[in-house]
A and B are shown apart, each in its own frame.
Chain A
């Protein structure tokens, strides 16, 4: 089955710097890659996603890139702000079983220092 690895597990940046979180997946048939942000005491919330027919997607300060050949995808946050501090999860779906399940990475705790 699908396996998703996420790095780093913790990331600390200064306000205004960029942050990059990377994920790799194992099932080459996976075709949907969402990113979730989880604030303290809340459930994960989708912030951006990408499908396998697209190499990059941007939404204001957030971008995601996908390399299907290498089976990895990354989240880029530019001009980080303290409110970006949270746990971020990547996930993959639509693989060989194509059942709608999401397989999650282990999560990255991002701390943005003012």
Chain B
């Protein structure tokens, strides 16, 4: 069955380190998204991509980057991890045309100490 996976599921890192969170989908979806989830803020969009080599900033993109070298993967990189980036991160994908339903991965819990 097609699916969307994230790895690792849990990560503890130190302030200042570079961290990469993986997202992989097997639906062949054009659109992929990264969100962070924090209490009181719901799901906030970090970066998104509409296809290979396309990337766009979301509402909370500072300190994060993404690259899209193929359809299946959109890794999220924290260039220099900060304690404010402690959060749960979700990846999602959608086919790329209306009605824009998004399918979410299981999430990665990141702790920056």
Contacts and interface: CB of A to CB of B under 8 A. Distances in A.
Contacts of A99: 50
A102 B107 contact: no
Interface in B43-98: 43-45, 48, 50, 58, 90, 92, 94, 96-98
A100 B96 contact: yes
B42 A89 contact: yes
Interface string A20-47: 0000000000011010100001111110
A100 B50 contact: yes
Contact of B42 (A32, A94, A107): A107
Contacts of B40: 106
Contacts of A49: 99, 101
B10 to A, nearest CB: 11
Contact of A105 (B31, B42, B102, B106): B42
Interface residues of A, number: 24
Nearest to B9: A41
Interface of A: 6, 31-32, 34, 36, 41-46, 49, 51, 89, 93-94, 99-102, 104-107
27 contacts: A6-B42, A32-B99, A32-B100, A34-B101, A43-B104, A43-B105, A43-B106, A43-B107, A44-B90, A45-B104, A49-B99, A49-B101, A51-B99, A89-B42, A93-B99, A93-B100, A100-B94, A100-B96, A100-B97, A100-B98, A101-B100, A102-B33, A102-B100, A104-B43, A106-B40, A106-B41, A107-B42
Interface of B: 31, 33, 40-45, 48, 50, 58, 90, 92, 94, 96-107
